Structure 1
Amino acid sequence: MAAPPSADQDYKTNLLSLLIANDALAFGTFTLKSGRQSPYFLTSSRLYTAPLLRQVSAAFANTISSPPFVNIAADGSITPNFDIVFGPAYKGIPECVGVVNELATRDALAGTKTWDNISYSFNRKEAKDHGEGGNIVGAPLKGKRVLIVDDVIIAGTALREAVGIIQKEGGTVAGVVLLFDRQERVSDTEQKSAIGAAERDLGGDIPIRAVLVFQDLIDKLGDKIGQEEVRRLEEYRNTYKAQ
């Protein structure tokens, strides 16, 4: 089966180029909350332009359309392993809406109904005590398989909170897809990356994947950012690489 009509074949390069052009991805010297001096920084709060939202949604959809989040039959047909795309407040909200819209667009262009039963949902930071009440907006989570989308994991606190919300509402976490994985160890005492530690802490049976990873910066942007920036990225990787 051919790739979905709206899927970019080299979506990583296209997305990275847009991130740089919109100052969402920058290179230099940045002090992280951990105190590390990072040669790059991704500011996901800048993902507000139409082209960036479109490309981010398409990149998420490409990742979500692959195992383990779907089953692919011998004829190429896809069956999702989730029912709802959940975006933790606040940065995950536009992402979950954008992803569901992108999946619907792909169905419309291909004349298929692969994603017809997929909905979106997100949480409020504070529960609403009037009207419909509650702290969930969008599809109810009870009895549903829920796929979480978010920008990045730093310490895993926000992810554990999202998992707790879904489980409290009666849903089952089917997986997690992040925009970016720094692929560096959490600390000197935690040698795993934030994603690796999260997978372990969640019991090892919830798949976590990333649209972009640190190594993509070197592999996809080497010619664009220059040899000196590549050298600094490689030095950072060698210093903080996760096990």
Structure 2
Amino acid sequence: MYQENFIKFALKRQALQFGNFYLKSGRYSPYFFNSNCFYNGSDILKIGEMYSDIIQKTQINFDVIFGLAYKGIPIATAIAIALKKKYNLKIPYFFNRKERKTYSDSGTIIGTQYTKKNIIIIDDVITSGMTIQQSSTILNFKENNNNIAGIFVLFDRQELCLSHLQTAENELIKQYDCPIFSIINIIDIIKYLKKKNIHQDYLKIIIKYYQKYGSLNVNNI
């Protein structure tokens, strides 16, 4: 399965890390998914092709790709290249700056025009959903008559949002009225570590963490 292949790839590149990590959500996690570890041409091309395959499989109607700063930017670029290379689709993309530029090409948005478009949002990880929610302010969806066709990420941590009332994924689906797709999620990783009988000490801690912040029952996995 492609999930197992990707987890193996992530472990080899040390993108999937174990330890004690402070997250943007304010939680301390026993694992961390660091897409910065996919930093050479071969790796980012592979990532772009995986995204492009899933995007094509969903048959979503979209016009443009939006990469969230900063980690979504190289991924969005790689996706645009992969869609052209594998599927002969010439899809424009754009991304945001986190700091507004006041000279030359001023503003926070770089790339194609995005008004009145069906947009797919690209990021690397969903934890609490805060980063993706910030895109509402960045893009002014209603004012620009945009439609969010879908959200695509490398990894879904499948955690509850900060209110603990629902999952971050469900909160985003409700907010944007669009589907969310991930290449892998934490349940895929738990199953893989169990199947391969590796990192068992961390696996126990991950399961305990997930029982506190996760959205599914992992006892029978």
Aligned length: 213
Residue 168 of structure 2 aligns with which residue?
Answer: 194
Aligned to 2:189: 217
Contact 1:191 1:242 (C-alpha < 8 Å) held by counterparts = no
| Paired position in structure 2 for 1:5 | none
User: How far apart are residue 119 of structure 1 and its match?
Assistant: 1.2
Output the amino acid matched with 2:78. Answer: G
TM-score, with normalisation over the residues of structure 2?
0.83
Q: Which position in structure 1 is the counterpart of 2:72?
A: 92
What is the rounded CA distance, in whole Å, between the counterparts of 1:33 and 1:90 in structure 2? Answer: 14
The reply to whether residue 106 of structure 1 matches residue 86 of structure 2 is: yes
What are the residue-to-residue correspondences of 1:55-204 with 2, within 5 Å?
Answer: 55-67=46-58, 70=59, 80-107=60-87, 113=88, 115-116=89-90, 118-166=91-139, 167=141, 168-187=143-162, 189-202=163-176
User: CA offsets, 1:23-65, max 9 Å, x none?
Assistant: 2111234444556443321122222123321222122222212
Identity of aligned residues (%): 32
Distance change >3 Å, CA 224–CA 59, structure 1 → 2: farther
Q: CA RMSD in A?
A: 2.4
Shift of 1:224: 5.6
Q: Using a 3 Å threshold, how does the CA distance of structure 1 residues 64 and 163 change in structure 2: closer, same or farther?
A: farther
Distance 1:165 1:133 in 2: 14
Unpaired stretches in structure 2, ≥5 consecutive residues: 217-221
Structure 1 unaligned blocks of 5 or more: 1-9, 71-79, 108-112
Question: Per-residue deviation at 1:190?
Answer: 1.7
TM-score normalised by the chain length of structure 1? 0.76
* 1:65 partner SS: helix
